[in-house]
Chain A
Amino acid sequence: MTMSIGTDSIYREIILEHSRNPSNKGTLDPNDFTYEDLNPLCGDEIRIDVRVEDDRVSEIRFSGRGCAVSQASASILTEMVEGRTLDEVKAIGRDELLAEIGIPVSPARMKCAMLGLKVLKAGVYGVDHATAELDRD
């Protein structure tokens, strides 16, 4: 049996590295907003805490448990948004996050990959909007 990872595998270095050594893992107390949610399909859970200064994300931490894809994606997301204004965070679409991940994500794993962004957006501007925007297939 070959030990190499197929070119269609999602388990390439960026996912494995972020899942082994996540960035910004933890919680912030106090924080300016916090939100958590889960993916009922596989039980992935993510919580994101944010501190805001001058309308920008000054500090961000995520915590939770779940598959490598959801946890690595949340880690990548926290790196992306640090220092951005809240309006810029609101403007992040799933294509931007997918581009940052840089690996094709199959429909079956899309909810895992988007969980962190969904939680962050719900924290920034309300639950319903984030769900409507990211739950389309």
Chain B
Amino acid sequence: MVIASSSQPVGTEFRHSEPLDGARVRADFPVLNREPRAGRQRLAFLDSAASSQKPQVVIDALTDYYGQYNANIHRGVYELSEIATERFENSRKRIARFINASSARECIFVRNTTEAINLVSQTWGRANIGAGDLIVFTTMDHHSNIVPWQLLAEATGARLGHVRITPDGRLDLDHYAELLAQEPKLVAFTYVSNSLGTVNPAKAMIAQAHAAGAVTVLDGAQSVPHLTVDVQDLDCDFLAFSGHKMLGPMGAGILYGKKHLLDAMPPFLGGGSMIRKVTLERTTWADAPAKFEAGTPAVGDAIALAVAADYLTGLDLDRVWAHEQELATYALERMREIPELTVYGPQDMTDRSGVISFALGEIHPHDVAAILDEDNVAVRAGHHCTQPLMHALGVPATTRASFYVYNDYDDVDRLIASLQRALDVFR
């Protein structure tokens, strides 16, 4: 079957010696090329840490699925279902390659990072965590990597340990070592902080956790979209990430798990697809990944997620990371021109991503974001689902700008000019 194909993406046409060109990449993203309302400049989108925009190839993958070969997958013996099944399973293989999993069977389609982590806590957790066991996570984790462990602790009587942060927004690795000395059963942490941009030393932390006998859960929501994440090199036991933050659709994300762990885990949701044999008395389970994929999945979203991964590979993740580093370096430099502005987290670009949280004098973050919106600069204000981190920083909320493939220097200049205007409005 010939699938209708749109024009080739222009962002991926480049010579490898060239740095990534944000303005050129932007041409692939319809939302970023919308005509702004009269009197407004083009949208400067600086909220990709919440959800990224989608390139035309990803949108086309969705409409192609629904328009050309929409059918439920697995067990269909007619052509459409076979095509849909083949493309769904082929997408799993491409995503497995994207994170260098040793087998596609180690990649489970879920809705998002939140669901992936809850899957681990409710299956591996219920089977392996008991009263008095220690579960470790960190002060800088997203609520999605905190609340599932609290629920598990409530259900099992397990204890919780939280790695402290240093004043410059990094994990206190001495405290981490102290917690590991108590031999936790499970260690969960984010690779890159969604609020501060801190890049944690994941590989070393995972090795330390393994040495202490713990299973590791890595939250990859803010790392998989931006840098090369190699699960075999990192040696993480589980990796959770969302498709929608990496140019993919809203309804598909991935839980990666090592095969021997997935094989030993009880199922997550019960229903169709996840069974081997059902009688009225009892059921035996399918092998992973099907064991964890009860019910009809978001087939089109899963297929489009692989297209997003391919697009990122086409851009080259090393160039993506270098590009974001360049923009964040420039943004931090320009922010230093504003004496009223305080940056939270790491003050330089050492082990730091393109996420920048800040305060602008005494102006409430909500007001800062609203003034920026008047200038068509989109940022986020609030606690970023990291209330314990905000508490540790001693602030109720921050304003956060985050950079991605389609941003450029002009976006940074727009941000800075609008921040200056916010100061003038509130002077």
Closest to A6 in B: B374
| Contact A67:B374 (CB < 8 A) given known A11-B425, A16-B425 | no
| Contact in complex: A10, B370 (CB < 8 Å) | yes
1/0 contact trace for A30-71 toward B, CB 8 Å? Answer: 000000000001111000000000000000000001111100
Chain B residues near A66: list those with CB within 8 A: 364, 366
| Contact in complex: A9, B374 (CB < 8 Å) | yes
| Contact A42:B370 (CB < 8 A) given known A1-B421, A3-B421, A11-B425 | no
Number of A-B contacts (CB under 8 A): 53
| Contact in complex: B371, A67 (CB < 8 Å) | no
Nearest CB on A from B344, distance (A): 16
B interface residues, tally (CB under 8 Å): 21
Q: Which of B371, B381, B418 contacts A11 (CB 8 A)?
A: B371
Complex Cα gap A5–B371 (Å)? 9
- Give chain A's interface residue range (CB within 8 Å of chain B): 20 to 34
Chain A residues near B132: list those with CB within 8 A: none
Asked if B383 lies at the interface with its beta carbon under 8 angstroms from chain A, I say yes
Asked if A112 lies at the interface with its beta carbon under 8 angstroms from chain B, I say yes
Complex Cα gap A13–B420 (Å)? 18
Complex Cα gap A43–B387 (Å)? 10
| Contact in complex: A5, B366 (CB < 8 Å) | no
Nearest CB on B from A132, distance (A): 25
| Contact in complex: B367, A67 (CB < 8 Å) | yes
| Contact in complex: B382, A43 (CB < 8 Å) | yes
Complex Cα gap A10–B367 (Å)? 10
Chain A residues near B366: list those with CB within 8 A: 42, 44, 66-67, 69, 112
| Contact A68:B367 (CB < 8 A) given known A1-B417, A16-B426, A42-B382 | yes
Complex Cα gap A1–B363 (Å)? 20
Complex Cα gap A11–B364 (Å)? 13
A interface vs B, CB < 8 Å? 1, 3, 5-6, 8-11, 16, 19, 41-44, 65-69, 109, 112
User: Which 5 A-B pairs give the minimum distances between C-beta atoms?
Assistant: A67-B366, A67-B364, A43-B396, A42-B366, A1-B417
